[in-house]
Amino acid sequence: MITYPNCKINLGLNILEKRADKYHNLDTVFYPIPLSDILEIIENKDPENSPTFPLSTSGLPIQGTTSSNLCVKAYKLLKKDFPKMPWVRVHIHKIIPIGAGLGGGSSNGAFALKMYNNLFDLQLSEEKLIEYASVLGSDCPFFIKNKPCHAEGRGEVLREIELDLSAYTFVIVNPAIYVNTGDAFRDIKPRFPNRKIIDIIQLPPEEWRGLLQNDFEQSLFIQYPAIEKVKLDLYQAGAVYASMSGSGSTVYGIFPKGRQMEFNFPDHYFVKILSPE
Protein backbone atom coordinates (compact mmCIF):
# COMPACT_ATOMS: atom_id res chain seq x y z
CA MET A 1 0.00 0.00 0.00
CA ILE A 2 1.29 3.45 -0.95
CA THR A 3 0.08 6.79 0.34
CA TYR A 4 1.21 10.40 0.20
CA PRO A 5 1.57 12.08 3.61
CA ASN A 6 1.20 15.82 3.09
CA CYS A 7 2.51 18.64 5.23
CA LYS A 8 0.88 21.60 6.97
CA ILE A 9 1.48 25.24 7.68
CA ASN A 10 0.60 27.19 10.80
CA LEU A 11 -1.66 30.18 10.33
CA GLY A 12 -0.51 32.07 13.39
CA LEU A 13 1.16 30.42 16.36
CA ASN A 14 0.86 31.80 19.88
CA ILE A 15 2.73 30.09 22.73
CA LEU A 16 0.48 30.82 25.70
CA GLU A 17 2.05 29.19 28.76
CA LYS A 18 4.33 26.41 29.96
CA ARG A 19 2.55 23.38 31.38
CA ALA A 20 3.35 21.23 34.37
CA ASP A 21 4.35 18.40 32.00
CA LYS A 22 6.99 20.74 30.46
CA TYR A 23 5.06 21.08 27.20
CA HIS A 24 3.46 24.40 26.22
CA ASN A 25 -0.15 25.34 25.64
CA LEU A 26 -0.51 26.93 22.25
CA ASP A 27 -3.04 28.51 19.96
CA THR A 28 -2.76 27.98 16.20
CA VAL A 29 -4.56 27.00 13.03
CA PHE A 30 -3.23 24.04 11.06
CA TYR A 31 -3.81 24.18 7.32
CA PRO A 32 -2.98 21.18 5.06
CA ILE A 33 -0.74 21.85 2.07
CA PRO A 34 -0.36 19.62 -1.05
CA LEU A 35 3.35 18.95 -0.63
CA SER A 36 3.83 15.27 0.18
CA ASP A 37 6.25 12.48 0.97
CA ILE A 38 5.67 8.98 -0.37
CA LEU A 39 5.07 6.20 2.15
CA GLU A 40 4.90 2.52 1.27
CA ILE A 41 3.99 -0.20 3.77
CA ILE A 42 3.74 -3.88 2.86
CA GLU A 43 3.45 -7.06 4.87
CA ASN A 44 6.82 -8.66 5.63
CA LYS A 45 6.53 -12.26 4.45
CA ASP A 46 9.95 -13.26 5.80
CA PRO A 47 10.42 -11.59 9.20
CA GLU A 48 12.91 -14.16 10.48
CA ASN A 49 15.48 -13.16 7.85
CA SER A 50 14.85 -9.41 8.09
CA PRO A 51 16.35 -6.65 10.23
CA THR A 52 14.65 -5.93 13.55
CA PHE A 53 12.40 -3.53 11.64
CA PRO A 54 12.89 -3.27 7.87
CA LEU A 55 12.83 0.50 7.21
CA SER A 56 14.33 1.95 4.05
CA THR A 57 14.43 5.54 2.86
CA SER A 58 15.20 7.61 -0.21
CA GLY A 59 15.05 11.25 -1.17
CA LEU A 60 16.11 13.72 1.50
CA PRO A 61 18.17 12.14 4.31
CA ILE A 62 16.18 11.36 7.46
CA GLN A 63 17.89 11.98 10.76
CA GLY A 64 17.68 9.65 13.75
CA THR A 65 17.64 5.90 14.24
CA THR A 66 15.12 3.39 12.98
CA SER A 67 13.65 3.05 16.48
CA SER A 68 13.03 6.81 16.66
CA ASN A 69 11.16 6.95 13.34
CA LEU A 70 7.48 7.73 13.87
CA CYS A 71 6.33 5.13 11.32
CA VAL A 72 8.14 2.50 13.36
CA LYS A 73 6.82 3.89 16.65
CA ALA A 74 3.30 3.86 15.20
CA TYR A 75 3.62 0.17 14.35
CA LYS A 76 4.97 -0.75 17.77
CA LEU A 77 2.25 1.28 19.47
CA LEU A 78 -0.47 -0.64 17.68
CA LYS A 79 1.33 -3.99 18.04
CA LYS A 80 0.96 -3.75 21.82
CA ASP A 81 -2.83 -3.70 21.50
CA PHE A 82 -3.03 -5.91 18.39
CA PRO A 83 -0.31 -8.54 18.90
CA LYS A 84 -1.49 -10.56 15.90
CA MET A 85 -0.63 -7.73 13.49
CA PRO A 86 1.71 -9.09 10.78
CA TRP A 87 5.23 -7.73 10.52
CA VAL A 88 5.77 -5.06 7.89
CA ARG A 89 8.33 -3.41 5.64
CA VAL A 90 8.29 0.39 5.42
CA HIS A 91 9.80 2.67 2.79
CA ILE A 92 9.75 6.48 3.01
CA HIS A 93 10.64 8.68 0.05
CA LYS A 94 11.33 12.01 1.73
CA ILE A 95 10.38 15.18 -0.14
CA ILE A 96 9.18 17.49 2.66
CA PRO A 97 12.15 19.34 4.23
CA ILE A 98 13.11 18.13 7.71
CA GLY A 99 13.24 20.36 10.79
CA ALA A 100 11.29 22.88 8.79
CA GLY A 101 8.06 23.55 10.71
CA LEU A 102 5.98 21.66 8.14
CA GLY A 103 5.22 18.57 10.24
CA GLY A 104 6.58 16.12 7.68
CA GLY A 105 7.70 13.53 10.24
CA SER A 106 4.45 13.87 12.18
CA SER A 107 2.51 13.38 8.96
CA ASN A 108 4.45 10.18 8.18
CA GLY A 109 3.62 8.80 11.63
CA ALA A 110 -0.07 9.67 11.44
CA PHE A 111 -0.47 8.34 7.91
CA ALA A 112 1.29 5.15 9.00
CA LEU A 113 -1.31 4.70 11.74
CA LYS A 114 -4.08 5.06 9.17
CA MET A 115 -2.35 2.64 6.81
CA TYR A 116 -1.89 -0.04 9.48
CA ASN A 117 -5.55 0.40 10.39
CA ASN A 118 -6.62 -0.16 6.78
CA LEU A 119 -4.09 -2.88 5.92
CA PHE A 120 -4.97 -5.07 8.86
CA ASP A 121 -8.64 -4.12 9.28
CA LEU A 122 -8.16 -2.95 12.87
CA GLN A 123 -11.45 -0.99 12.66
CA LEU A 124 -10.12 1.93 14.67
CA SER A 125 -12.30 5.03 14.71
CA GLU A 126 -10.93 8.49 13.93
CA GLU A 127 -11.21 9.30 17.63
CA LYS A 128 -9.11 6.26 18.56
CA LEU A 129 -6.53 7.00 15.85
CA ILE A 130 -6.20 10.53 17.23
CA GLU A 131 -5.63 9.04 20.67
CA TYR A 132 -2.78 6.90 19.33
CA ALA A 133 -1.42 9.82 17.31
CA SER A 134 -1.24 12.05 20.40
CA VAL A 135 1.19 9.52 21.92
CA LEU A 136 3.45 9.86 18.86
CA GLY A 137 3.70 13.65 18.94
CA SER A 138 1.90 16.95 19.31
CA ASP A 139 1.35 17.55 15.58
CA CYS A 140 0.37 13.97 14.73
CA PRO A 141 -3.35 14.16 15.65
CA PHE A 142 -3.93 16.91 13.09
CA PHE A 143 -2.85 14.64 10.24
CA ILE A 144 -5.49 12.08 11.20
CA LYS A 145 -8.12 14.71 10.38
CA ASN A 146 -6.02 16.47 7.73
CA LYS A 147 -8.49 19.33 7.37
CA PRO A 148 -8.19 22.97 8.50
CA CYS A 149 -8.28 22.88 12.29
CA HIS A 150 -8.01 25.26 15.20
CA ALA A 151 -5.57 23.64 17.65
CA GLU A 152 -5.08 24.21 21.35
CA GLY A 153 -3.42 22.34 24.22
CA ARG A 154 -0.04 21.18 22.94
CA GLY A 155 -1.60 20.89 19.48
CA GLU A 156 -3.70 17.79 20.04
CA VAL A 157 -6.98 19.53 20.98
CA LEU A 158 -8.49 20.02 17.54
CA ARG A 159 -11.62 21.60 16.16
CA GLU A 160 -12.34 21.50 12.44
CA ILE A 161 -13.04 24.92 10.95
CA GLU A 162 -14.36 26.26 7.66
CA LEU A 163 -11.45 27.93 5.89
CA ASP A 164 -11.19 28.00 2.12
CA LEU A 165 -7.97 29.42 0.69
CA SER A 166 -8.40 27.92 -2.77
CA ALA A 167 -8.42 31.42 -4.29
CA TYR A 168 -4.74 31.80 -3.37
CA THR A 169 -1.40 30.38 -4.39
CA PHE A 170 1.09 29.35 -1.70
CA VAL A 171 4.83 29.74 -2.09
CA ILE A 172 6.82 27.53 0.31
CA VAL A 173 10.46 28.47 0.88
CA ASN A 174 12.90 26.60 3.07
CA PRO A 175 16.35 28.21 3.35
CA ALA A 176 18.09 24.92 4.18
CA ILE A 177 18.36 25.78 7.87
CA TYR A 178 17.58 23.05 10.40
CA VAL A 179 15.80 24.38 13.49
CA ASN A 180 15.64 22.13 16.54
CA THR A 181 12.16 22.49 18.02
CA GLY A 182 13.38 22.05 21.61
CA ASP A 183 15.96 24.79 21.16
CA ALA A 184 13.34 27.08 19.62
CA PHE A 185 11.04 26.64 22.62
CA ARG A 186 13.81 27.52 25.06
CA ASP A 187 13.92 31.07 23.72
CA ILE A 188 10.16 31.59 23.86
CA LYS A 189 8.51 33.92 26.36
CA PRO A 190 4.91 32.66 26.67
CA ARG A 191 2.18 35.27 26.46
CA PHE A 192 -1.55 35.68 25.97
CA PRO A 193 -2.12 37.99 22.98
CA ASN A 194 -4.86 40.60 22.84
CA ARG A 195 -6.58 38.92 19.91
CA LYS A 196 -7.24 35.24 19.32
CA ILE A 197 -6.08 33.55 16.14
CA ILE A 198 -9.50 32.01 15.49
CA ASP A 199 -10.93 35.54 15.32
CA ILE A 200 -8.18 36.93 13.09
CA ILE A 201 -8.54 34.26 10.42
CA GLN A 202 -12.20 35.25 9.93
CA LEU A 203 -10.76 38.29 8.16
CA PRO A 204 -9.55 38.07 4.54
CA PRO A 205 -5.85 37.10 4.26
CA GLU A 206 -5.17 40.59 2.91
CA GLU A 207 -5.85 41.85 6.46
CA TRP A 208 -3.75 39.29 8.37
CA ARG A 209 -0.45 41.14 8.13
CA GLY A 210 0.43 42.71 11.47
CA LEU A 211 -2.31 40.75 13.25
CA LEU A 212 -1.57 37.06 12.67
CA GLN A 213 1.78 36.30 14.29
CA ASN A 214 4.10 33.37 14.91
CA ASP A 215 5.74 33.75 18.33
CA PHE A 216 8.85 31.86 17.21
CA GLU A 217 9.77 34.51 14.68
CA GLN A 218 11.08 37.09 17.14
CA SER A 219 13.93 34.97 18.49
CA LEU A 220 14.63 32.88 15.39
CA PHE A 221 14.92 35.89 13.11
CA ILE A 222 17.70 37.18 15.37
CA GLN A 223 19.54 33.84 15.23
CA TYR A 224 18.90 33.25 11.53
CA PRO A 225 18.54 36.50 9.55
CA ALA A 226 18.21 34.45 6.36
CA ILE A 227 14.78 33.23 7.53
CA GLU A 228 13.55 36.78 8.08
CA LYS A 229 14.88 37.78 4.66
CA VAL A 230 12.75 35.08 3.03
CA LYS A 231 9.67 36.59 4.64
CA LEU A 232 10.60 40.09 3.49
CA ASP A 233 11.31 38.84 -0.03
CA LEU A 234 7.90 37.18 -0.23
CA TYR A 235 6.20 40.43 0.73
CA GLN A 236 8.36 42.26 -1.80
CA ALA A 237 7.15 39.80 -4.45
CA GLY A 238 3.52 40.63 -3.69
CA ALA A 239 2.39 38.22 -0.97
CA VAL A 240 -0.73 39.40 0.83
CA TYR A 241 0.50 37.50 3.89
CA ALA A 242 3.77 35.77 4.79
CA SER A 243 4.89 33.93 7.91
CA MET A 244 7.21 31.30 9.25
CA SER A 245 5.50 27.96 9.80
CA GLY A 246 5.74 26.23 13.17
CA SER A 247 9.16 26.54 14.77
CA GLY A 248 10.76 27.15 11.35
CA SER A 249 12.68 27.39 9.21
CA THR A 250 10.14 27.27 6.37
CA VAL A 251 8.42 30.51 5.41
CA TYR A 252 5.31 30.63 3.25
CA GLY A 253 3.72 33.41 1.27
CA ILE A 254 0.06 33.64 0.26
CA PHE A 255 -0.50 35.21 -3.16
CA PRO A 256 -3.66 35.88 -5.16
CA LYS A 257 -4.01 33.28 -7.90
CA GLY A 258 -2.77 34.57 -11.24
CA ARG A 259 -0.27 36.96 -9.68
CA GLN A 260 3.00 37.07 -11.60
CA MET A 261 5.81 36.25 -9.16
CA GLU A 262 9.54 36.67 -9.51
CA PHE A 263 11.99 35.26 -6.97
CA ASN A 264 15.74 35.25 -6.70
CA PHE A 265 16.34 32.75 -3.91
CA PRO A 266 19.69 30.92 -3.73
CA ASP A 267 19.86 27.65 -5.67
CA HIS A 268 20.13 25.52 -2.51
CA TYR A 269 16.82 26.84 -1.13
CA PHE A 270 13.78 24.57 -1.36
CA VAL A 271 11.06 26.52 -3.20
CA LYS A 272 7.62 25.19 -4.16
CA ILE A 273 4.60 26.96 -5.65
CA LEU A 274 1.40 25.20 -4.60
CA SER A 275 -2.31 25.63 -5.19
CA PRO A 276 -4.46 24.17 -2.38
CA GLU A 277 -7.77 22.78 -3.51
Residues marked as catalytic: 8, 139
Gap between the Cα atoms of 241 and 29, Å rounded? 15
Contacts with 113 (C-beta within 8 Å, 6 or more apart), sequence order:
74, 77, 78, 129, 132, 133, 136, 140, 144
30: which strand partners?
Answer: 10, 149
- List b or e across 99-128, with b for residues whose CB sees 16 or more CB atoms inside 10 angstroms: bbbbbbbbbbbbbbbbbbbeeeeeebeeee
Q: Compute the distance between CA of residue 39 and CA of residue 5 in angstroms, rounded to an integer.
A: 7
Rounded to 5 degrees, what angle do the CA atoms 36, 99, 158 make? 65
